[in-house]
Structure 1
């Protein structure tokens, strides 16, 4: 079931952040000043017998940019919408600044929300779209004008107050949606795949803009995407989701360089997954691959000879040619893709699975059928056990 489908409450423009002034409840006595900005405590979300999210817990530091990353149907959008009150949780608690909010009506949650579809009022001017949440809070007109002007400057669209959404490009409409979500200084900014409707160049530009604005405002942001490049380039921490649960939580470097499971390794960056058998274990672990070739892998503990393992090697960790490396794999080029300063090779090394290498070009691009040597260091890979869990 795709998690992008709203199964309970349809998103509407006013859900982008409307809370009446004074609606927030006071923090509980004894609440810590440095408590997490957002905290999920063992939440479950179910639709009848279908469990979309199961026992999900996560603590998000104030001022951080956290991304929920995963394929369609993994629960990431459902979790995001539960913070805003667009989806009801079946169990557990959601806390914002130490205050429970899962039992608080939508309009009383101080949340900014940016949708993929922009959700702007088509008949309202840019000024009125951005000012909507402020007017709802009965903010004085001079202050509304000041805040709207400041928000439009932050998204680099000053002077656009009198335009209608139909007069703007898709990227400009997304900037207006972002301005509307931050203008009232929400406690948390939620971004539900906001870049997926944009072309490649605009997506890259908006990544930089969103991250810049988030840093300038110091707002806590939770971003949902299925795009690995977006997650890696924008996030302070990434939560890799799978089947309604968090598979791994860490910095972009941690989840990419040291995937905790086979799912994370395969989903994030499409790593090479080489099945093999342990043939020796000492300072390094020797693994015989299905092709019959043997490689050495850095391993923190001794493994029993004959153990079934999987060696995870990122395509970028593989060198091509005569460069000195502890591990060498010989094969033949199945396909080659020229990318300017680098090339992507698919290589048959024997066995059932080809290996993929993304390496700088030295000399010329090898052609289909040519012999090729691939090298990598024992420290440049990760070892998974028979259950697909990282050996640590």
Structure 2
């Protein structure tokens, strides 16, 4: 893999090795733009089981990158490999241009926040936060200054003498974060740190973590299976499946233009409408769906009649009632979830095909069993080919 690749909006074909840049392009970087973290074709195996295969990624300094995917996809294994908690079987890992996969964990200058907080229960908040500084033989006066500053950043000043048991779950997570940033690490690793918190606290901590990361300028790598966390917090998202990269891009890129069927389904549960191209009219393809109905979708390149495609439409792109233009379909409401200013509908459009619409409410809410008209704009969808890859 060449050294001068900055990977963006990247997808892997299921049988391909490494990371291929979408569209065949790349962005060169000079020596001054040395990536904060770089993985070069790493693989991680446990006996015959390969947990991570040919993983390559370049992370810019000061960015917030999320590894997103289902359980068992390899995201936590990759995070632990940076920290030195897992040995790689092939490839190399660099931090700030220095190879680290062959050096001990204590020489990697990495902050790590665990899901379980991992605080010392018998030590005070001060001693928990100061632990890494004492290990590095930082003078006492400097330790006190840095601990005070870290506690200010996580909004827990004055808690130095408390024990972890005297704190709420959210406060304990803040202390774990303070401990991870107090010695100014080059990279901050966060392993599903919010999963043990309730919904309200998770939302609050998302904002806090992102704010602190931007304030400190630390490069952060965040692991989660929660799509909302990934979309709301990340500068870039790495979507993973079965030890491989499916797509790399900004939250907007991976959500609006999924590179594979897996990304479309995993991130936001898109509607997947299989069919065949029946005609092309300029840049629009007419597609005969498996349901027997016909829709139009913008195609980035000419397609041939008979080509097997899947029309991907996000629930937010489906309108219910009051429609104009093309792609108007009738269906029967199977279920309704009222959310205040919006509603989520599941609608049977025929032949057992169920689509999901998440739409703003302007008037009455459609009820189960009701017949409704739905539609979407030809520009509001993505086309996948017969291999489940985005047509580009």
Same fold (TM over 0.5): yes
CA contact (8 A) 2:70 2:241 kept: yes
1 CA distance for matches of 2:141 and 2:290?
Answer: 72
How do 1:1-392 residues align onto structure 2 when only pairs under 5 Å count?
32-283=31-282, 284-392=284-392
1 CA distance for matches of 2:110 and 2:343?
Answer: 44
1 CA distance for matches of 2:384 and 2:308?
Answer: 9
CA contact (8 A) 2:291 2:353 kept: no
1 CA distance for matches of 2:337 and 2:330?
Answer: 19
1 CA distance for matches of 2:322 and 2:32?
Answer: 57
1 CA distance for matches of 2:206 and 2:362?
Answer: 32
> 1:25 is matched with which residue?
none
2 CA distance for matches of 1:352 and 1:55?
Answer: 39
SS in 2 for 1:33: helix
**Number of residue equivalences:** 362
Per-residue Cα deviation, 1:137-160 (whole angstroms, up to 9, x for no partner): 100000000000000000000000
2 CA distance for matches of 1:167 and 1:290?
Answer: 59
1 CA distance for matches of 2:101 and 2:353?
Answer: 47
Task: For residue 297 of structure 1, report the CA deviation from its aligned partner.
Answer: 0.3
Per-residue Cα deviation, 1:294-352 (whole angstroms, up to 9, x for no partner): 11000011111111110000000011112324211111111111110111111010123
2 CA distance for matches of 1:280 and 1:120?
Answer: 63
CA RMSD of aligned residues (A): 0.8
CA contact (8 A) 1:40 1:58 kept: yes
Per-residue Cα deviation, 1:156-200 (whole angstroms, up to 9, x for no partner): 000000000000000000000000000000000000000000000
CA contact (8 A) 1:333 1:370 kept: yes
2 CA distance for matches of 1:351 and 1:68?
Answer: 37
TM-score, with structure 2 as normaliser: 0.91
SS in 1 for 2:31: coil
Task: For residue 245 of structure 1, report the CA deviation from its aligned partner.
Answer: 0.7
CA contact (8 A) 2:43 2:91 kept: yes
CA contact (8 A) 1:261 1:389 kept: yes
Contiguous gaps of at least 5 residues in structure 2: 1-29
CA contact (8 A) 1:290 1:352 kept: no
2 CA distance for matches of 1:171 and 1:339?
Answer: 27
Greater than 4 Å deviation, 4+ residue runs? none
1 CA distance for matches of 2:352 and 2:192?
Answer: 36
Bigger shift: residues 284-293 or 185-194: 284-293
Bigger shift: residues 279-288 or 56-65: 279-288
Task: For residue 281 of structure 1, report the CA deviation from its aligned partner.
Answer: 1.4
TM-score, with structure 1 as normaliser: 0.91
Task: For residue 108 of structure 1, report the CA deviation from its aligned partner.
Answer: 1.1
Pair 1:92–1:328, CA change in 2 (3 A): same
